[in-house]
A and B are shown apart, each in its own frame.
Chain A
Amino acid sequence: METRELICINCPMGCNLTVQIEEGEVVSVTGNTCPRGKTYGISEVTHPVRMVTSIIPVENGEIPMVSCKTAVPVDKNKMFEIIEALAKVSVKAPVHIGDVVLADAAQTGVDVIATKEVAASSL
């Protein structure tokens, strides 16, 4: 039996959750005040995911950097691999929100997309 202590992130209550796991299966979530806590506890120990957001340089843009994000949340343990992969990426202006700046980031099957409009420099 493995036990994990978590803080629920759904609301300011921040309930201290205790999740018990046996052979990879969640057997109990305790400490939650509402059903959202249970759902969170289960997903956080079985398949924790995070959005990754960062910036990359823009060539010939009105501004030097463009912000970007993973199109959907990715495995939590892939965050740094995606950040490292993004360190080698740059794009050419114009950039539009939703443009793919890095396809299949760190073999997650998830694209990294631009989150800001950047026009080409008029100079």
Chain B
Amino acid sequence: METKQLVIIGGGPAGLAAAVAAKKAGLDDILILERDTQLGGILNQCIHNGFGLHTFKEELTGPEYAQRFIDQVEELGIPYELNSMVLNISKDKAIEYVNKDEGVKDIQADAIILAMGCRERPAGALSIPGYRPAGVYSAGTAQKLVNIDGYMPGKEVVILGSGDIGLIMARRMTFEGAHVHTVAELMPFSGGLKRNIVQCLQDFDIPLELSHTVTNIKGKERVESITIAEVDENRKPIPGTEVEYPCDTLLLSCGLIPENELSQEAGVELSKITNGPVVNESLETNIEGIFACGNVLHVHDLVDFVSQEAAKAGEKAAKYVLEGLAESTNEIPIETGGLVRYTVPFTVDPERMDDNQVVRFRVGNVLKGGFVNVYVDDERKIHRKKMIMAPGEMEDIILKKEWITPNTKCIRVETEEA
């Protein structure tokens, strides 16, 4: 069987940044496997601007951001295979993949970086009543049809879900001549950026109906109308509030789910909260030598943070292959409190952690004027006021190695109300 020191699954922003970092850390025998026809992943269809403010101090479009990393991959001579779909990963890091030129192929890797990204929650997972005609698309599918293929999926549009992709597509469809009737959001707040609410909806007088959902889809062959109703505090539709919109298209922007079927095949333990692998401070999963980064690990809102996280995974994977990571002595769990839903990483080892270990987290509800507290055992190390924390915004704290001793039992990241 052919061997590789490091195989990276996925050639999107995470995979590219991981590859570049691994190469710069001295590892040469790398292969990126990408199932699409080009590198860059989902950035290729994100033609709007707003990417890279943290990394490049300028606002790039998705394709431009991707190209910055593709150029580095090319300059460093990192090998990649396109049109190559990974079918299986085994516990001992054998990878089976398929492409048109080589058929089914097996590679034995010393280390693997999972960088498969995420996918949209599909219509079937939303239990929307009504018919199942043509014209119901996830927002990202519509984005691909419009921006990559140059096709318009419909003319009269209703959008369910106010995630950023849905908001971006409201503007995009409007620019291309469609009429977007309304955006319905089940929750009493939008998970989308304020900037997108203003520049993608308000600029075009598209309503955003909070605490609303779709209660019926009509049409046998093609969508003929969508019914929207207000929901109560238990998110149940309120009878009598229904409004029927004649239209031909329903776009769904109802959340993203890390794509971990391959990880599961390999026996990687997943978190029920993130739907991504449970990783330690090195972004290594429970399977030694299998690392994870980007949206397959937890869904990000800024690609800059994907790139940073992936670079860390690349660096750690290279170290693992070339010299081995320090032996794990004490895996200290990071507990959560208050509104903190999860942290990545889930554990840190004092022997293996960085001097300044980045810990990312998300909160489950909006908190204005509150605090982030970090405790090491019972000692409070961080007490930071935050103007606002919101579910749509990933937060981070820096955990200092000097705070952690071999006897440390527990680290806790929590929010405190004002």
Using a CB–CB distance below 8 Å, which chain A residues touch chain B? 6-14, 33, 50-51, 53-55, 57, 63-65, 67-69, 76, 79-80, 83, 97, 115-117
Please tell me if the beta carbons of B390 and A12 are within 8 angstroms of each other in the complex.
Answer: yes
Q: Across the interface, which residues of A come within 8 angstroms of B149, CB to CB? A: 64-65
What is the chain A residue whose CB lies nearest that of B195?
A9
Task: Indicate if B47 sits at the interface (CB-CB under 8 A).
Answer: yes
Residue of B with least CB distance to A115: B61
Measured CB to CB, the nearest residue on chain A to B63 is A116
**Can you give 14 A-B contacts (C-beta < 8 A)?**
A7-B198, A10-B194, A11-B388, A12-B388, A50-B199, A50-B203, A51-B48, A51-B59, A53-B49, A54-B47, A55-B47, A63-B38, A68-B47, A116-B64
On whether A117 and B67 interact (CB within 8 A), knowing A9-B199, A11-B387, A51-B49, the answer reads yes
Residue of B49, B147, B199 contacting most chain A CB atoms (<10 Å): B49
Partner of B194, one of A8, A55, A115: A8
- Indicate whether B103 reaches chain A with its CB closer than 8 angstroms: no
CB-based contact A65/B198 at 8 Å:
no
Whole-angstrom distance between the Cβ of A114 and the nearest chain B Cβ: 9
Knowing A51-B49, A53-B49, A54-B47 are in contact, say whether A11-B194 is a contact too (CB < 8 A): yes
Interface centre among B59, B62, B64 (most CB of A within 10 A): B64
* Residues on B with beta carbons closer than 8 Å to the beta carbon of A69: 47, 49, 61
Whether A53 contacts B67 by the Cβ 8 Å rule is: no
B interface residues, tally (CB under 8 Å): 33
B388:A116 contact, CB within 8 angstroms: no
> Is B242 interfacial (CB 8 A cutoff)?
no
Q: How far is the CA of A117 from the CA of B68 in the complex (A)?
A: 11
Most chain B Cβ neighbours within 10 Å, of A57, A83, A117: A117
What are the interface flags for B72-115 relative to A under an 8 Å C-beta threshold, 1 for contact and 0 otherwise? 00000000000000000000000000000000000000000000
From residue A80, how far is it (CB to closest CB) to chain B in Å? 8
Q: Which residue of A lies closest to B387 (CB)?
A: A13
Q: Please tell me if B150 contacts chain A, counting CB pairs below 8 Å.
A: yes
**What 0/1 readout, one digit per residue, does chain B (251-276) give for beta carbons within 8 Å of chain A?**
00000000000000000000000000
Residues of B within 8 A of A9 (CB): 193-195, 198-199
Q: When the two chains form their complex, are residues A12 and B392 in contact, meaning their CB atoms are under 8 A apart?
A: yes
What is the bound-complex CA distance between A73 and B199, given in angstroms?
A: 13
In the complex, are the beta carbons of A55 and B202 less than 8 A apart? no
Of chain B, the residue at the smallest CB distance from A33 is B387
The reply to whether B150 and A64 form a contact with Cβ atoms under 8 Å apart is yes
A67 touches B199 (CB 8 A): no
Contact B59 A97 (CB under 8 A): no
> Given A33-B387, A69-B61, A116-B67, A7 and B194 touching (CB < 8 A)?
yes
B36-62 to A contact mask, C-beta < 8 Å, 1/0: 011000001001110000000001111
Q: B199 — which chain A residues lie within 8 A by C-beta?
A: 9, 50
Contact call A67/B67, Cβ cutoff below 8 A: no
CB distance from A59 to the nearest CB of B (A): 13
> What residues of chain A lie closer than 8 Å to B368, measured between beta carbons?
13
The CA-CA distance from A97 to B63 in the complex, in Å, is 9
Q: How far is the CA of A50 from the CA of B202 in the complex (A)?
A: 13
Residues on B with C-beta less than 8 A from A7 are 194, 197-198, 202
- Cα A51 to Cα B59 in complex, Å, equals 10
